[in-house]
Amino acid sequence: MIIIMLGAPGTGKGTVSGMLSNELNIPQVSTGDIFRKHINEHTELGELAEKYISKGQLVPDDVTIDLVKDRLQQQDVQSGVILDGFPRTVKQAEALDNMLENMNKNVSMTINLTTPEKELIERIVNRRQCPNCKASYNLVLNPPKKENICDKCGHELTKRKDDNKDTFKDRLKTYFNQTSPLVDYYEKQNKLYSALVSQSINKMGKDVTKDVVEYIKKNHIT
């Protein structure tokens, strides 16, 4: 099963991916997490990626496509994977379709998360992450029990450098210009599942995850 997560920054792609990964027992691959790991480890790729990430722009397609191509060869993703944050351009989507075709596989479904813009910015500035176990918190909606300490593993929480108002605006622009055309792309392939994630209708990541799991069972998606 190959699931793609689409959605603007702050819609909860990472949260839903993590929960789906547990429910479906397949790994989550986040290109953003991979880039951040490289940045922390000061690799060559990390240095290149940081230039783009800090401006709210996309890392160039050729670099990103090569990275994912390698990752999809690894053993742990052969029976399924949740792609969190890839593809993000039509070129990446076409490259993915090619890669999968060569492996006799195809995209099972694309989950497109949408959230009103006002809620997105709130979530982004209040987001904190555990660098150790990757747990995600929101200082308002889902704060840790002890200030700035991960409930699950006790590690100190961090805030992503690009989770500030200015970079968020650029990330949102990048999303609308370069990534949102993928909604059409997958709609045309009949692979799109859209869900609204919003406090205003009391539907958050965990509710969407439940709906998706039911949808997968009902429609025998493999």
Residues that bind ligand ADP (CB under 6 A): 9, 13, 30-32, 35, 52-53, 56-59, 64, 85-88, 92, 171
Active site residue 160: yes
Residue 111 three-state SS: strand
Which residue stretch of 101-109, 124-132, 180-188, 206-214 sits at the interface with Zn ion (rule: CB under 5 A)?
Answer: 124-132
- In terms of DSSP bridges, do strands 127-129 and 136-138 run parallel, antiparallel, or are they unpaired? antiparallel
Q: Which of 73, 219 has the CB closer to ligand ADP? A: 73
Among 36, 123, 128, 171, the one annotated catalytic: 171
Residue 52 interacts, among Zn ion, ligand ADP, none and using kind-specific CB cut-offs from 5 to 8 Å, with ligand ADP
Count CA atoms closer than 13 A to 57's CA, side-chain side. Answer: 9
Q: Are 113 and 7 in contact (CB under 8 A)?
A: yes
User: Using the rule CB under 5 A, is 135 a contact of Zn ion?
Assistant: yes
Segment lying near Zn ion (by CB under 5 A), choices 7-15, 24-32, 35-43, 125-133: 125-133
Catalytic residue among 36, 88, 123, 128: 88
**Torsion angle of C-alpha atoms 85, 91, 97, 99, degrees rounded to 10:** -90
β-pairing, 81-84 vs 109-114, is unpaired
Residue 178 and residue 175: Cα distance in Å, rounded? 6
Name the binder of 31 from Zn ion, ligand ADP, none, CB < 5-8 A by kind: ligand ADP
Which residues are annotated as catalytic? Answer: 13, 88, 127, 160, 171
